[in-house]
Amino acid sequence: MKHAVIVAHPNPDSFNLAMAHAYETAAKALGHEVLMRDLYSIGFDPRLGADEIPGSTGFNPRPDAQAERAMLADADVFVFVYPVWFNTPPAILKGYLERVFGTGFGFSTGAQGMQPLLKGKLMVSLSSSGAPQAWMSQTGAWTALRKLFDEHFASVTGLSVIEHLHFGEIVPGITSEAVGACLDQVGEAVRRNFGPPTN
């Protein structure tokens, strides 16, 4: 099984990158293949060009988006790792979804309308926020995030959402013990979803 881990955080020493690597380690321990796409590290341009808008004259994804699509084509699991900023994923991740998972990869359009192209593939999200998850739930931010990002994106592309693991109150000064406990939960989520059945 191939996992494409797509991480969106500018700090290579961030909690989010640590989550991505914890996921990678756990998946590889199960004998799975992992493709890591660190969007800031690779300098991905999130800006959708006019020529990349479906229906435009000469519509065609640009070479960098085409290269990403080629790398992701045989992935079985898409793992999105990101911080929650202003109650949404970072702009670089939204741009990646627009440019890479758009028409011709995530879905097609035609006489039958929009058709998802990623049915049978799985989706996992790992997110973090400075606010407690209880606050996100009380204010409606958590419901909005799940509705707009997980559920809508999965519906359009045909992905099946199997996990969204969120860690709140990830703030500067968090103890290494607390971080370690969170990363253990990431590894456990991988084993729970993709490991051999336990009695």
Q: What is the pLDDT of residues 52-67, one digit of tens each?
A: 887 766 678 999 999 9
Cβ neighbours of 172 (radius 10 Å): 5
**What confidence score (pLDDT) does residue 43 get?**
98
Report the largest interatomic distance among the alpha carbons of the chain, rounded to a whole angstrom. 57
Better pLDDT: 114 or 4:
4
Order across the sheet with 122-128: list the strands.
33-38, 2-7, 77-83, 122-128, 160-167
Better pLDDT: 79 or 111:
79
C-alpha 74/C-alpha 61 separation (Å) is 19
179 close to 140: Cβ distance less than 8 angstroms: no
Instruction: Give the end-to-end CA distance of the chain in Å, rounded to a whole number.
Output: 23
**What confidence score (pLDDT) does residue 173 get?**
86
- Residue partners of 43: CB distance under 8 A and separation at least 6: none
5 close to 24: Cβ distance less than 8 angstroms: yes
Top-tier CATH class for 2-194: alpha beta
Binned at pLDDT 50, 70 and 90, residue 114 comes out as confident
Name the residue ranges covered by the structural domains of the chain: 2-194
Dihedral angle sign, alpha carbons of residues 43, 83, 147, 191: positive
C-alpha 57/C-alpha 92 separation (Å) is 25
For the segment 3-17, what is each residue's pLDDT rounded down to a tens digit? 999 999 999 999 999
**What confidence score (pLDDT) does residue 8 get?**
98
